[in-house]
Amino acid sequence: MTSPTIKLETVNSWGMVQKARCDLRQPRDVDALRGMFEQARRQGRTIGLRGAGRSYGDAALNDGGLLLDLTELNRLSSFDPSSGVLVGEPGVTLRQCWREMVPQGHWPAVVSGTMKTTLGGGASMNIHGKNNYCAGSFGEYLESFEILLPTGEELRCSRDENADLFFGAIGGFGMLGCFTSLTMRAKQVESGRVEVRPHATSSFAETLELYDALAPQADYLVGWHDGLSTGAKRGRGLVHEARHLSADEDREAESSMALDRQDLPTRMFGVMPKSWLWMGLWCFLNRPGMRLVNAMKFWSGSRQAQGDPYRQAHAAYHFLLDYVPHWKWAYRPGGLIQFQAFVPREKAASTFDDLLETMHAHGIPPYLCVSKKHRQDPFLMTHAVDGYSLALDIKVSDSNRERVWALTEELEEQVLSAQGRFYFAKDSVLRPRNLTRMYRPETLDAFVALKRRCDPEVMLQTDLYRRIFSQS
């Protein structure tokens, strides 16, 4: 009997740096998904799971194997406005969620910087938002889920039922099973807008002190930093504080929750399509250009910080990565990676300073630099710390690729020396020898035991898994 011909196609990481040749399939319902699992099990093939494909690195690639695109499993089964509980398939996006919720007075409790993230991807990576320090991570708002294991078994998991798998699969980067249904709790809002107040800061230390001072009163906090400045200006930036408005504070509270008040504009000044803007950004994506852009941003933000707060729709405040369609194309042809470090509070400011200093010493500064405040969470393979994170976008080209990887090895060592961690949704470079420095032995042992129980044939694999885990 001859083996079936397998057609492999090239699939890129979101950052366009990694690529893999995969047998890409798109199940349209859970029965089809189950059939693909059964077929792969019979044929001894590996399976990787892919949601919206928004992971910057190789988390949603499976070179040489089967890759299941779950975006067609996007049925939103129900939403109960009295409880704020939503039930949906793994391919349901955050956009689908908020468009269902907002007109009924709710908003997802935790969202990423893009509304294209799926429920399955959000759970697998246990995404966080600008409110992680007070609201926690995505998984903390999942009440239960149903999961298909590589063995063919289907389980319901919650904090009370199959709890070890509940806490392991959330943040388990798709290596224990495939979510088939997720039940998520949203939060109630009285207005479709938040009040935003910018603050200018002169350093990382000042930014982190400001985070701590604002945290008791703010619903959201996020910082932008000028990654091109050096010396006394290193780490300067802008912190955007936001809080929910009550119905009493917003005269337009009811009308502000209409969908047309939330949708992001598609044109600049009502004329130029935003889909063209990446071409203009491409012209500035170099050190002189970004130095100018950052200086202008800091100057204008500092002036704005002296004025009154302003109001923004929820979608406009949260989904900055969706403002300019295809903005990543400005990084062509080489693409970008994001180096995101999570560092405990005691060492965060000095570590962030060291990271920027090292990048400048290598001649590879970050073109985007974003900080957040965090708290710990209860999930097994968590990246969360009681501290702060710094995300650094690094441009990759044919001429600097080897230098970028050498740089990230130094950055990795600085973060791990500070007892920091990395986030699998963003990671592109973590070396296998360092996985044991991120997690305690008992944590890794518990994950290995779950993997062995749920996936004894190690059918679920991705390039990320093979890079950092199977070799550790």
pLDDT band per the 50, 70, 90 thresholds, residue 470: low
pLDDT in tens, 427-466: 999 999 999 999 999 999 999 999 999 999 999 999 999 9
Give the pLDDT confidence of 1-58 residue by residue, as tens digits.
345 567 899 999 999 999 999 999 999 999 999 999 999 999 999 999 999 999 999 9
- The tokens for 138 are 């995505």
Q: For residues 21 and 63, is the Cβ–Cβ distance under 8 A?
A: yes
Strand, helix or coil at 195? strand
- Rounded-to-integer distance, Cα 393 and Cα 227, Å: 10
Facing residues of 395 across strands?
336
> Pairing relation of β-strands 19-25 and 9-12?
antiparallel
Q: Tell me how far apart the alpha carbons of residues 377 and 68 are, in angstroms, rounded to a whole number.
A: 29
| 118: DSSP letter | B
Nearest to 181 by CA among 153, 127, 145, 155: 145
Residues 6+ apart with CB under 8 A from 271: none
Tens-place pLDDT, residues 195-231: 999 999 999 999 999 999 999 999 999 999 999 999 9
Which letter does DSSP use for residue 274 in this model?
A: G
Residue 291 near residue 228 (C-beta atoms within 8 A): yes
The rounded distance, in Å, linking the Cα atoms of 130 and 317 is 10
pTM of full prediction above 0.85: yes
